[in-house]
Amino acid sequence: TWGKTSISIQRKMVQSNTGPIPSTVGRSFVKQYYTLLNTDPASLNRFYGSDSTVTHGQHIAVPENDIAVHGETEIHAKVLSHGFDECRAELTFVDCQQGIQGGVLLLVHGQLVNKGAKPRRFTQTFFLAVQENGYYVRNDILRFLDAPEKDDVDTVNEVEPLQSPQQQQQQIYL
């Protein structure tokens, strides 16, 4: 079971000799999560628990916008603030790893296509923690990877270019 939602996966169905198979748990979760994002985004908070933490942000970290929220009520408000409407996820990849205490770590990359809006590239990391009847989202970090707007370009261009290790070494010895 995922959080308090009726969408479920039985832990015994994904067991191997060493425990749950992370890729099976992860892919099942991803399918259910992004389907609900498309059909009923207001219900996504069902995947989370009272100790869950969510951080959602843009391509450039803005501290006042990237504040972590905790618990189902704050997470519900954060998800609604995105204005998802018939949002379709087009996934490029899903990576899954075994986490601590039987949990599963996921990295999802793709683009979200919201009704009437341009596609937005994103990466999202989840930690699925074990609960009595399955898993719930303990941690969720979503980062949109959109290209900078024109106003941001000057700021981005002010950053000095990275130097290769050879260039750095030459500077040290000069």
For the entire predicted model, the pTM comes to 0.73
Local structure of residue 2 (DSSP, 8 states): B
| pLDDT tens track for 18-56 | 566 899 999 999 999 999 999 998 899 899 999 999 988
**Cα–Cα nearest to 33, from 102, 120, 94, 97:** 94
What is the SS3 assignment for 165?
A: helix
Cα 17 to chain centroid distance, Å, stands at 29
| pLDDT tens track for 96-138 | 999 999 999 999 999 999 888 889 899 999 999 999 889 999 9
Task: Retrieve residue 36's tokens.
Answer: 């609900």
Amino acid, single-letter form, for residue 161:
P
Alpha helix locations (H) across 40-161? 71-81, 150-157
CB atoms within 10 A of CB 151: 7
Local structure of residue 86 (DSSP, 8 states): S
Query: In DSSP terms, which residues pair with 126 in a beta bridge?
Result: 106, 140
Q: In this structure, what is the dihedral angle of CA atoms 51, 32, 41, 67, given to the nearest 10 degrees? A: 40
CA gyration radius, the chain: 19
